[in-house]
Structure 1
């Protein structure tokens, strides 16, 4: 009896997961209707019978979901006003159908995480990363993406994808993940401190000094670190154009932690939770200053002094103005568009299929 009840419960749960895959195209169309200017790409694999002109009832017609990519219009506008720095990461989806989530997260002027784009794919491979990077180029242009600095955790297939799609692009490795691999072979607090000092060194002579100390302690540890080009992990070789000297990919890790519960939900619910999380990350507290679209804006702290409200609050009119500005920035007013079928193809919504 308990086994039958468990099986019935599993069928009911998995049925909900499968049912949402049937509505994924409708969700993409609705996402574009409510967020004009956004980019949504849905890729499916169709049965061979779709190529038959004379469709009959006996033909086996089906679509298999493969990938979906989303870049909201508000995120596009925000990234164009921020430092050209993107963190890339991937995480597993804990659903019966599996899959992985690719994310691109930026830094806003107040050093807060700014989700730019996300995609649900079948697996983390060189092909999926190439697909994701090409869509980023379609959204922002090759000039902007080509001058952007990327940070990653050495994901599988990402480096070959960079070489093919954006050759020569500036790229960094997360030092925390580099040290995670380093300590498996070379443990000890002293080596840990020396590695982090090498990564934080801002001049090449300082980097060489720390590396020589590592060499005197452990030649193999020095050889291991020296095999990784310092331009990937040391501030002494970083490009100054992005105006960002971070050596860890904490923004992507924070974003993945914020959606950890959503990764167990059905596909449409996952995408909607990520959209809500993206919108919430761009909300401004009434006590925060009005965001100015400048790539070098510092964190200004609380609003100006007000004789009645005190030094840590803004006047009522300022609170209303900030809130109204942020709502227009994050959630653009829906524009009335002509009818858009799930299989329509335009500059914003691409419905792809495997040949």
Structure 2
């Protein structure tokens, strides 16, 4: 049981090897996975029960942590035995909100990560940058799929969090996804946009392969003055012809992807969303555990990170 507590994502072959090393026996794969599921349910609780406890968890956050934003919604699916189905949950603790508004830049990175539990789902994360260019976890949510409706739910809560702060240069950084742009136009049209250039580079490399085009792409993205950008753009026009210029035109305004057009009032020229993905990678095995255990794991990670930097 202690071994599964330490690594609940252990594979069957490794678990069988551990059993043979300790007890000198092997188990059938079916029996092994049944035993593993039973132990995980005993340790972390079942996935079904965990979703049912979310309303009580949200209520407890409001009662014990003043200033926190926590919302949970369920959807009526019209099933005779199971009328309500989990929809979304959004959480941002009071300390995160105060720290973000009081000491972070106006750049907000958002990203989605797939959950590995019985029912799947998407974990949406919001990460800001503080004055030392270190990541600051701001909020997170769990939704069933990554679409325009769920992104709109997410950004609506973010907008209500910052609308009274007085800043008008809020900038959202993410991968180039249609759902994000459409949701922002609906609930937060004043927010500016930046695309993750690493994500763009993968698409660019498929359309225009070759090391030279790849180098020119990054030179254009990292150009910090109009002169460098103009020279690089001419090289791209020469090597990639009209098709290359059309590809860049489809990205929209240059302020979304090249540094020399970034808003200087944001005080950050980061052009990738690596800082958001690095936070998601710290969750590790928690992403395969029941949703309540996952949310508590994220809370602990955020609490330790913020407390150690006070």
TM class by smaller structure: 0.7 to 0.9
Give the corresponding residue for 2:84.
63
In 1, the alpha carbon distance for the partners of 2:250 and 2:82 equals 52
After superposition, the C-alpha distances for 1:267-308 in whole angstroms (9 at most, x for unaligned) are 0001011111111221336xxxxxxxxxxxxxxxxxxxxxxx
Aligned pair 1:75/2:96, yes or no? Answer: yes
Alignment of 1:1-355 (within 5 A): 2=28, 5=31, 8-9=34-35, 12=38, 16-46=46-76, 60=81, 62-81=83-102, 82-141=104-163, 147-219=169-241, 220-229=243-252, 230-284=254-308, 326=310
SS in 2 for 1:132: helix
In 1, the alpha carbon distance for the partners of 2:134 and 2:268 equals 13
SS in 2 for 1:139: helix
- Using CA pairs under 8 Å that are at least 6 residues apart, name the structure with larger relative contact order, 1 or 2: 1
Greater gyration radius? 1
Query: Are residues 254 and 164 of structure 1, via their aligned partners in 2, closer, same or farther at CA, if it must alter by over 3 Å?
Result: same
Query: Are residues 201 and 282 of structure 1, via their aligned partners in 2, closer, same or farther at CA, if it must alter by over 3 Å?
Result: same
Consecutive unaligned residues in structure 1, runs of 5 or more: 50-58, 286-325, 327-355
Q: Is the 8 A contact 1:137 1:145 kept in 2?
A: no
Answer 1 or 2: which has greater helix percent: 2
In 2, the alpha carbon distance for the partners of 1:244 and 1:4 equals 53
Taking structure 1 as the reference length, what is the TM-score of the superposition? 0.72
In the TM superposition, residue 142 of structure 1 has moved relative to its aligned partner by 6.0
Consecutive unaligned residues in structure 2, runs of 5 or more: 1-26
Query: Are residues 266 and 156 of structure 1, via their aligned partners in 2, closer, same or farther at CA, if it must alter by over 3 Å?
Result: farther
In the TM superposition, residue 6 of structure 1 has moved relative to its aligned partner by 5.3
Taking structure 2 as the reference length, what is the TM-score of the superposition? 0.82
Q: Is the 8 A contact 1:92 1:98 kept in 2?
A: yes
In the TM superposition, residue 223 of structure 1 has moved relative to its aligned partner by 3.2
Q: Is the 8 A contact 1:202 1:236 kept in 2?
A: yes
After superposition, the C-alpha distances for 1:184-221 in whole angstroms (9 at most, x for unaligned) are 12222222221111111122332121010111122133
In 1, the alpha carbon distance for the partners of 2:124 and 2:166 equals 20
In the TM superposition, residue 114 of structure 1 has moved relative to its aligned partner by 0.4
In the TM superposition, residue 168 of structure 1 has moved relative to its aligned partner by 3.8
Give the corresponding residue for 1:298.
none
In 2, the alpha carbon distance for the partners of 1:36 and 1:70 equals 13
In the TM superposition, residue 152 of structure 1 has moved relative to its aligned partner by 0.6
Compute the RMSD of aligned alpha carbons. 2.3
